[in-house]
Amino acid sequence: MKTFKEYIFEGITRPVIPPALVQHTLDYIKNNMPKKISMLDFIGLIENALKHARLSNNISVDWNIDDPQCEHMPLGVIGIGGEFSAEEAAGGYSSIVIQVYSNPNSKRLIKPREYLPGILREIKQVIEHESIHHKQEVKRNYIADRKGITTKAKKSQYANSNLMDVDYFGREDEIGAYSNDLSNALLYHTNNDVDKALQLLRKYKTDIVNVIHTPFDMYSRNFKPNSPVIKKLVKLAYQRLMDEKEV
């Protein structure tokens, strides 16, 4: 198995955490999920899974109930998000945070085994997405890149007047990480059939958004199909799927 540092310097859209360790984390959660579990114990289960996979030095877990949107969430339901800190990574500390969002009044996770497959997919996506950001930072010596490529697009190629969203999704870093999310979503939708996933990706100018809910939705809301941002996203997702085909 390759070391953590060896994975950091692999291809631009590949995550840095060894896939075997990510799967080990997910399997631990799956095998130890009880029929009933409190929110606090669920956080502890994720933390124990990371320790078991020897990833706790790289990834931590945060239970977030302070976000203003949390109070509008249904009781017993969670959302999974992620963060990456270049400062923590540069200092050799845990740099990836799995954010678990819930209503502050939630005491237990409802139907944990029923919703577990979706939860595991979200945890996997967060780890991969944020670890790609880690690799991007390492490759440039932790010098932040926040310009993106949206400045190369004409205003007529924007589909959204919200320039904050346009700036965020147009960043080189986010295009690279979201291309991995997109390819994973296509593989899940096609039951890991790479050829079918590639066929679906080629429909990005027509009906991919109607066929499947993917990270592409967020990009199609902000950029038109002919924009350089969309073209780069699709190109990187295509390369990622071709990598899968060659494995």
Residues 9 and 107 in one domain: yes
Q: Which residue has the higher pLDDT, 187 or 156?
A: 187
144 lies in a domain? no
State the total domains in the chain: 2
Radius of gyration of the chain (CA): 18
Q: How far apart are CA 200 and CA 184, in angstroms?
A: 13
**Does residue 238 or residue 138 have the better pLDDT?**
238
**Are the CB atoms for 148 and 176 separated by under 8 Å?**
no
At residue 188, does pLDDT exceed 50? Answer: yes
Whether 100 contacts 53, CB under 8 Å: no
- Prediction pTM value: 0.84
Q: Is residue 235 part of a domain?
A: yes
Q: Judging by beta carbons within 10 Å of its beta carbon (0-12, 13-18, 19+), is residue 24 exposed, middle or buried?
A: middle
**Res. 44: pLDDT tops 60:** yes
Say how far apart CA 52 and CA 2 lie, in whole Å.
18
CA 153, 187, 233: angle at the middle one, nearest 5?
10
More confident residue, 98 or 65: 98
- What pLDDT was estimated at residue 2? 46
In a domain, 199, yes or no: yes
- Do 11 and 128 belong together in one domain? yes
Domain boundary among 107, 139, 171: 139
Do the Cβ atoms of 97 and 85 come closer than 8 Å? yes
**Does 174 fall in a domain?**
yes
Last residue in a domain, options 85, 119, 139: 139
pLDDT at 11 over 50: no
In a domain, 145, yes or no: no
**Where residue 7 falls among pLDDT bands split at 50, 70, 90?**
very low
Higher pLDDT, 61 or 167: 61
pLDDT per position as a tens digit, 66-124: 888 899 999 999 999 999 988 887 777 778 999 999 999 999 999 888 999 999 999 99
User: Quick one: 92 and 42 in the same domain?
Assistant: yes
Question: Do 226 and 185 share a domain, yes or no?
Answer: yes
When mean pLDDT is compared across 81-90, 212-221, 231-240, the lowest value belongs to: 212-221
Question: How confident is residue 151, by pLDDT bands cut at 50, 70 and 90?
Answer: very low
Return the structure tokens found at 4: 């953590």
Same domain, 164 and 131: no
Asked if pLDDT for residue 160 goes beyond 80, the answer is no
CB-based contact 53:45 (threshold 8 Å): no
Query: In this structure, are 183 and 88 located in the same domain?
Result: no
Q: Are residues 71 and 36 in the same domain?
A: yes
205 and 186 in one domain?
Answer: yes
For the segment 116-137, the average pLDDT, to the nearest whole number, is: 91
Question: Taking residues 198-219, what's their average pLDDT?
Answer: 71
- Region 205-218: mean pLDDT is 63
Tokens of 85: 């800190």
* Average pLDDT, integer, range 128-156: 70
What residue type is assigned to position 216 of the chain? F
Residue 183, token pair as written in the block: 């390819």
Q: Are residues 29 and 123 in the same domain?
A: yes
Q: How far is residue 43's CA from residue 35's CA, in Å, rounded to a whole number? A: 15
Q: Would 167 be classed as within a structural domain?
A: yes
In a domain, 92, yes or no: yes
- Higher pLDDT among residues 59 and 227, named by residue: 59
Q: Within this chain, do residues 13 and 91 fall inside the same structural domain, yes or no?
A: yes
Is residue 149 pLDDT above 60, yes or no?
no
Whether 18 and 109 map to the same domain: the answer is yes
pLDDT score recorded for residue 169: 86
Is there a single domain that holds both residue 157 and residue 68? no
Residue 178 lies in a domain: yes
Percent of the chain with pLDDT over 70: 80
The span from the CA of 52 to the CA of 69, in Å, is: 32
The residue-averaged pLDDT of 176-190 equals 89
Domain that holds residue 172: 150-246
What is the pairing mode between strands 59-64 and 96-102?
parallel
Name the domain boundary from 111, 139, 167.
139
Biggest distance spanned by C-alpha atoms of the chain: 53
Q: Which residues contact 45 (CB under 8 A, 6 or more apart)?
A: 29, 32, 33, 37
